[in-house]
């Protein structure tokens, strides 16, 4: 149950823990600011440094990636030039060397196994697609994190004191542990 719904519970739990960490800061701000402005100030005091960090290192990463992309055609030209230059030697090696002939014969005799291997690659590609879809849905579940964070930040202790009434089916000790 928990592993299936972890994409829902994890942002909720992290929102609660982060709200507990920032609760004293929020309480100090709430003494001088109204509640919505105090929540906004807590959000901004977290997001501005994270945004600056991401902007600085994101710009470095983008520069490096763009430089790498501009060099790919040059790399490809060098590799193809080397391949064209060495192709006659490679072809001669493949046609005359006894080891190369054995490898070619083995590959021809294993055509069924190669087809099965390609089918396995297809199955794994579908599995990877499912993994990517799971990652996207997991990311989208984190969109709710700010809502959970703001709720736990504003609600404070009243949330945990009322939670026991929602677990009457648990033993008293277990209920207390779950609420804790």
Residue 50 and residue 46: Cα distance in Å, rounded?
Answer: 7
Per-residue pLDDT reduced to its tens digit, 100-131: 778 777 777 777 777 788 888 888 888 888 88
Concatenating the DSSP letter of every residue in 12-69 gives: HHHHHHHHHHHHHHHHHHHHHS-HHHHHHHHHHHHHHHHHHHHHHHHHHHHHHHHHHH
Share of the chain above pLDDT 90, in %: 7
Q: Is the pTM for the entire model greater than 0.85?
A: no
Residues 147 and 154: beta-carbon distance below 8 Å: no
pLDDT surpassing 60 at residue 14: yes
Higher-pLDDT residue of 157 and 50 is 50
Residue 11 and residue 163: Cα distance in Å, rounded?
Answer: 18
Per-residue pLDDT reduced to its tens digit, 59-81: 899 999 989 888 988 988 888 88
Which position has the token pair 């089918």? 119
Lowest mean pLDDT among 33-37, 45-49, 106-110, 116-120: 106-110
Cα separations in angstroms, 48 against 29, 40, 43, 54, 136: 17, 12, 8, 10, 25
């Amino acid at each position: 149950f928990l592993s299936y719904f972890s994409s829902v519970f994890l942002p909720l739990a992290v929102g609660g823990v982060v709200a507990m960490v920032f609760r004293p800061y929020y309480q100090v701000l709430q003494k001088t600011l109204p509640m919505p402005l105090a929540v906004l100030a807590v959000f901004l005091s977290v997001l501005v440094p994270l945004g600056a960090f991401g902007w600085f290192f994101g710009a470095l990463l983008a520069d490096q990636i763009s430089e790498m992309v501009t060099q790919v055609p040059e790399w490809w030209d060098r590799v193809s030039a080397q391949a064209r230059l060495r192709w006659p030697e490679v072809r001669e090696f493949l046609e005359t060397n006894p080891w190369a002939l054995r490898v070619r014969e083995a590959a021809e005799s294993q055509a069924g196994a190669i087809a099965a291997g390609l089918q396995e690659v297809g199955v794994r590609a579908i599995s990877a697609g499912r993994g990517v879809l799971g990652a996207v849905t997991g990311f989208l579940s984190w969109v709710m994190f700010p809502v959970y964070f703001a709720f736990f930040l504003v609600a404070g202790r009243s949330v945990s004191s009322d939670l026991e009434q929602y677990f009457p089916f648990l033993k008293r000790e277990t209920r207390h542990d779950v609420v804790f």
